[in-house]
Amino acid sequence: MRSKTLGSAGEFGFIRDLRTRLATRDPFVRLGAGDDAAVLRPAPGRDLVFTTDMMVEGRHFDLKTITPWQLGAKCMAVNLSDCAAMGAEPKAAVVSLGAPKTFPYKNLMSFCDGLVGWGRQFGCNVVGGDTVGSEKLVVNVAMLGEVEKGKALRRDAARVGDILFVTGTLGDSGAGLHSLRHPGKKAKEARPLLHQRHLLPVPRCTVGRSLVRTGLSKCAIDVSDGLSSEVNHLCEESGVGAEIHAEAVPVSPALSYYCQELRLDTLKFALDGGEDYELLFTAPLRRLKEVLRRVPGGTGVAITPIGRIVPRSRGVRLVDPQGRRRPLVPGGFDHFAR
């Protein structure tokens, strides 16, 4: 008996099966999937945040190393992370999917379960989308969030004297990708955690919302392309420079162990690895202790100061343990690099 595929189910059969997964009672969603467009109603006194991300098979993911459920969840997570970086509450998403007609239908449903389920964990409902035939799997998610009027966290709000903070640990996802591409017995205890961090990132939505509610920060960016790139992006938009202390950049025991066993550069992963989806944000020096005391509360995520904002004329530099300074060159992911 032949397995059911997207082609045998047909576009409308797929849409019919998907709609049963999308029903919601969220008052933000006045009319969900099923019509020509969704109808949404933002709360009074709030701004809308709009973001989108595309993932392409062979460029952003490999179906040999990620399950359909994980892929769906990750496609949602990268957009949730953008909302987190703006301090916004994610509310609704539409999904455009290009897939081969031979794609197994059970895998497609598993993908949808990951997409819808991971979104709902963070309060975001899928309210519609589009499908098209494609030689490769292509997924684009567009997401709307809400944030208090005029309170969105921005890349251009860093000021000289501010402290730079980062959530969680850095480099795990990059090492997870390296491990998937280089399987082996070395550091086998660390590999599952690193794989998890790469395949199923957890967006820091709670931290982003906490920064807005407490008023402790006005400037943030998510670490999707690597810390070295994101620091430079933030500084360019704010018209400032930065000093990052190498010893302060937080790394996990799993990453340290993996790099030690395989004789790899731990700091290289932490600076350039990409896809960590942590938050990089700034706050005034006078509020350093307040950030460390108040922001982690209830989030379960460590907050680490890693440097400071300096005048633009001093550039963006990395400070080594001996106090020597060198330019921090962007080295993360580039969508158009070979």
The domain ranges of the chain are: 6-148, 155-327
pLDDT tier for residue 60 given thresholds of 50, 70 and 90: very high
Whether the predicted pLDDT of 167 surpasses 80: yes
Amino acid in the structure at residue 235? C
Answer positive or negative: Cα dihedral of 325, 329, 333, 338. Answer: negative
Q: Which one of 3.90.1300.10, 3.40.1190.10, 3.90.650.10, 3.20.20.10 gives the CATH number of domain 155-327?
A: 3.90.650.10
Higher local confidence (pLDDT), 239 or 16 = 239
Quick one: how far is CA 159 from the chain centroid?
24
Per-residue pLDDT at 128: 84
The CATH class that applies to domain 6-148 reads: alpha beta
Per-residue pLDDT at 6: 59
Mean of per-residue pLDDT scores for the chain: 90
Give mean pLDDT, residues 318-329. 96
Element holding 48 (H helix, E strand): strand 46-56
Whether the predicted pLDDT of 98 surpasses 50: yes
Query: CB count, 10 Å around CB of 65?
Result: 16
- What does pTM read for this prediction? 0.89
Q: Annotate 259-311 with DSSP letters as a single string.
A: HHHHT--HHHHHHH-----EEEEEE-GGGHHHHHHHSSTTT---EEEEEEEE-
Select from 172, 177, 179 the least CA-distant residue to 62.
Answer: 177
Give mean pLDDT, residues 130-159. 95
End-to-end CA distance of the chain: 42
Give mean pLDDT, residues 55-72. 94
Quick one: how far is CA 259 from the chain centroid?
23
Q: What is the dihedral of CA 327, 331, 332, 335, to 10 degrees?
A: 130
Report the percentage of the chain scoring pLDDT > 90.
79
Report the percentage of the chain scoring pLDDT > 70.
88
pLDDT tier for residue 28 given thresholds of 50, 70 and 90: confident
Give mean pLDDT, residues 115-121. 94
pLDDT tier for residue 114 given thresholds of 50, 70 and 90: very high
Mind listing the pLDDT tens digit for each residue in 229-269? 999 999 999 999 999 999 999 999 999 999 999 999 999 99
- Phi-psi domain of 258 (left: phi exceeds 0; alpha: psi -120 through 50; beta: other): alpha
3-state helix, strand, coil in the chain (%, to 5): 40, 25, 35
Whether the predicted pLDDT of 180 surpasses 80: yes
Cβ burial, residue 95 (10 Å; 0-12/13-18/19+): buried
Lowest model confidence (mean pLDDT) among 27-31, 218-222, 242-246: 27-31
Per-residue pLDDT at 335: 47
Per-residue pLDDT at 203: 96
Select from 279, 331, 291 the least CA-distant residue to 169.
Answer: 279
Mind listing the pLDDT tens digit for each residue in 282-315? 999 999 999 999 887 667 799 999 999 999 999 9
Whether the predicted pLDDT of 91 surpasses 70: yes
Select from 225, 226, 267, 276 the least CA-distant residue to 249.
Answer: 267
| Rg value, the chain, Cα | 21
Per-residue pLDDT at 338: 43
